[in-house]
Structure 1
């Protein structure tokens, strides 16, 4: 197994008076399998979206050790790309042009490593939140990945395409429901629905990790060294690791999400499984280690 981390410049770097965008990339080489994490940019979220209801004094102490504030969060967005010589697979597709201006940059990152949208053979969705799904369509509502087969969990697809979801999900997430339904409808004739434990591809198994959304999936890649693509079942490198039992406002079913985190972190640590995390630092590639009563994220693998 070989891990390399590097930075490279987007095309805007050559233009005068245009700020340079420096892309961080991590590449895992596992035999014939290559896994890249590519930046879709970052989100800007009010701290209350993540931290509401958490014990204030302990929260402040945890975040302070990471140089963070509870007022605002700017998590990175890392899209995982797998190439095995036959398949070119994206796990989630970023935000696209319609969510936040700081995100939706996947096409630039793909161009920087020489991968075109038409090269993508499969797109596997962890879940249907905007920063993971909305990049599936371009500004003209055409599928960006014209040659790809799409896969998503059965429970996730059913939830977001249910006409009743928009009226039950809550006002702050109603736009999520409208956007997800529109995009899933646009690709519905090319979507394969997955069950827990099902092989999405040879060597890639879907693992139900619910709570953040009803049918959230992680994907376990059985490379020479196993890798787990987490999505948002473990959505940050600080509170989610140190206090996985705390309830987070970012999760739709807070209690179930906490149960999922506690169980999954234990397995990842005990089995030394490499992870790629959509909102984890350093390109999102690392391992889970036990640390006292909780866990820590390490970029050393």
Structure 2
């Protein structure tokens, strides 16, 4: 199956600022507004909102695999082989008097099919000023750029914003822009501008820290130098918000050792992904994947020498 953008999708076009909206879903059907999904975790309540979806050229997603290898993996699942069109899932935690967002989506300036979170929150009766905490996994556009409004002011003015220390240090380092490949320089400029705009609201996170009551930070670097995932604990159970440490419900599980073009350190990304899948399978911990099919929640099962995502 070939998606509507065809073979003209290129890694450079995507990284330069996104692609035109297709209005189509994963299987070529018109997309419908994604419903909210709520999970219980002891006294905590987790709601997963959609920020829309992205279009990622396959030569960006899997730059080192042959067309034949990609087709052999994806076609049995009915997936296109020219591009992926992953959902973007934003986790909201209600706990006590706190409303906590994990990542904030793309905002209006990345891809036209994303940036829907503010509208979804409004539909749920949640104003930006109601958000007490924003906890970031990393500084890529689809996770960070929605932190500002259309006037480049902080969208969540009352929130404490929690950022992994290593992620903050990396994006704001003097040499990051110069050392970044040309096609990703917009990522650096975007991260720097947004971090500077929210600096007065920011507190730093280190691995192993209890960021908020029942929220544990887990080092899952590799996708970016400071990427962090978060285990939410409650009622004797737990759910991990994995961010982009595990990016795809098929590829990452069935071929965890395939390099991902979205990982800044591909070798470390592979090691982190395999260790995380092993941990989740052993502990039977539920997870929420940012780019899994909405709402992105489920479990990890072993499948031969690899893994399988079990939704729900």
Q: Structure 1 length as normaliser, TM-score?
A: 0.91
Residues 1:151 and 2:162 are matched in the alignment: yes
- From 227, 232, 236, give the equivalent of 2:239: 227
Q: Please name the residue that 1:209 is paired with.
A: 220
Q: Does 1:57 align with 2:68?
A: yes
Is residue 2:273 matched to residue 1:255? no
> SS at the partner of 2:108?
helix
Matches within 5 A, 1:4-43: 22-43=33-54
- Among 293, 298, 301, which residue is 2:305 paired with? 293
Matched residues in 2 for 1:297 and 1:122: separation? 29
Query: Which stretch has the larger CA shift, 54-63 or 273-282?
Result: 54-63
Q: Which residue of 2 aligns with 1:265?
A: 277
Offset of residue 66 of structure 1: 1.9
Residue 239, structure 1, aligned to residue 251, structure 2: yes
Mapped partners of 1:124, 1:46: distance in 2: 28
Q: Which residue of 1 aligns with 2:126?
A: 115
The answer for unaligned runs of 5 or more in structure 2 is 1-29
Partner of 1:173 in structure 2?
184
Superposed displacement of residue 55, structure 1? 4.4
Bigger mean CA deviation after superposition, 164-173 or 229-238 = 164-173
Give 1:20 shift: 9.1
Mapped to 1, the partners of 2:301 and 2:32 lie a distance apart of: 32
1:111-138: CA deviations, max 9, x gaps? 1222111110000000000000000001
Q: How many aligned residue pairs are there?
A: 282
Runs of 4+ in 1 over 6 A off after TM superposition: none
Alpha-carbon spacing, 1:231–1:102, altered in 2? closer, same or farther (3 Å)? same
Question: TM-score, normalised on structure 2?
Answer: 0.88
Contact 2:89 2:294 in 1 (8 A): no
Structure 2 match to 1:139: 150
Aligned partner of 1:46 among 46, 57, 61: 57
Counterparts of 2:59 and 2:45, CA distance in 1: 37
**Structure 1 residue 184, shift from structure 2 partner:** 0.3
Asked if 1:77 corresponds to 2:88, the answer is: yes
Aligned to 1:16: none
Name the CA distance, whole Å, in 1 between partners of 2:62 and 2:198: 34
Q: Write out aligned runs for 1:264-283 (5 A).
A: 264-283=276-295
Task: Report if the CA contact (8 A) 1:129-1:176 is conserved.
Answer: yes
**SS at 2:295's partner residue?**
helix
Structure 1 gap segments, 5+ residues each? 1-18
